């Protein structure tokens, strides 16, 4: 169902034609990279954390990991991931298809991690575990209603740009 929400959201903004649907799972970074045919780093994974009375989504590169110290400095509390039930409540998407599109819960805020900025094209999920949408960083920022670019990840700097 959430792919239909995502599809409608992207259709209203002229991006529906960028959605790719697969006959295989794209629920993990590795599976998504295989399905898309790109380096895992280009998969824009959406991580969901508890924040105040709601949730914070962080969209980051597939090769990035949350840096707990940076997260705490940014949000003033420890990084605690949402439960699967909370993910669906706060995003409308199930784990494996979580994306920053079509989220109507006002208690959910989306941020983009700078780990994505080294790529011309990235691939976030499109609402289910067998989809992706092809975007550049500016399009992702616009479509995700992002609260801004932040630096809360580690592990990606050493890997540099990848195809």
Q: What is the pLDDT along the chain (163 residues), one digit of tens a residue?
A: 589 999 999 999 999 999 999 999 999 999 999 999 999 999 999 999 999 889 999 999 999 999 999 999 999 999 999 999 999 999 999 999 999 999 989 999 999 999 999 999 999 999 999 999 999 999 999 999 999 999 999 999 765 555 5
- Domains of the chain are 2-152 (3.90.960.10)
Give the H or E element holding residue 33.
Answer: helix 29-36
Q: Looking at residue 1, what is its pLDDT?
A: 54
Q: Which runs of E-coded beta strand occur in 5-163? A: 19-21, 43-51, 54-61, 65-66, 108-113, 123-124, 131-133, 149-150, 153-154
Q: Looking at residue 161, what is its pLDDT?
A: 53
Q: Looking at residue 157, what is its pLDDT?
A: 77
Burial 112-142 (b: 16+ CB within 10 A, else e): bbbbbebbeebbbbbbbbbbbbbbebebbbe
Would you give the DSSP letter of residue 142? Answer: H
Distance of CA 45 to the CA centre of its chain: 4
Whole-prediction pTM: 0.94
CB 53 within 8 A of CB 77: no
Cα separation, 36 vs 134, in Å, equals 9
CB 101 within 8 A of CB 143: yes
| Integer CA distances (angstroms), 32 to 25, 49, 56, 78, in order | 7, 22, 23, 28
Q: Looking at residue 77, what is its pLDDT?
A: 96
Q: Looking at residue 2, what is its pLDDT?
A: 86
CB neighbour class for 23 (10 Å; exposed up to 12, middle 13-18, buried from 19): exposed
């Amino acid at each position: 169902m959430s792919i239909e929400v995502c599809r409608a959201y992207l259709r209203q903004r002229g991006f529906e034609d960028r959605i790719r649907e697969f006959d295989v799972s794209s629920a993990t970074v590795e599976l998504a990279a295989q399905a898309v045919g790109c380096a895992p780093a280009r998969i824009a994974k959406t991580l969901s954390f508890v924040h105040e009375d709601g949730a914070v989504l962080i969209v980051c590169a597939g090769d990035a990991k949350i840096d707990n110290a940076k997260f705490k400095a940014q949000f003033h509390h420890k990084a605690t991931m949402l439960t699967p039930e909370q993910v669906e409540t706060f995003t409308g998407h199930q784990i494996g298809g979580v994306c920053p599109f079509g989220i109507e819960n006002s208690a959910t805020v989306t941020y983009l991690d700078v780990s994505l900025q080294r790529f011309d094209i990235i691939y976030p999920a499109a609402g289910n575990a067998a989809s992706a949408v092809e975007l550049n960083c500016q399009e992702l920022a616009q479509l995700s209603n992002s609260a801004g670019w932040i630096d809360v990840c580690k592990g990606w700097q050493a890997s540099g740009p990848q195809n």
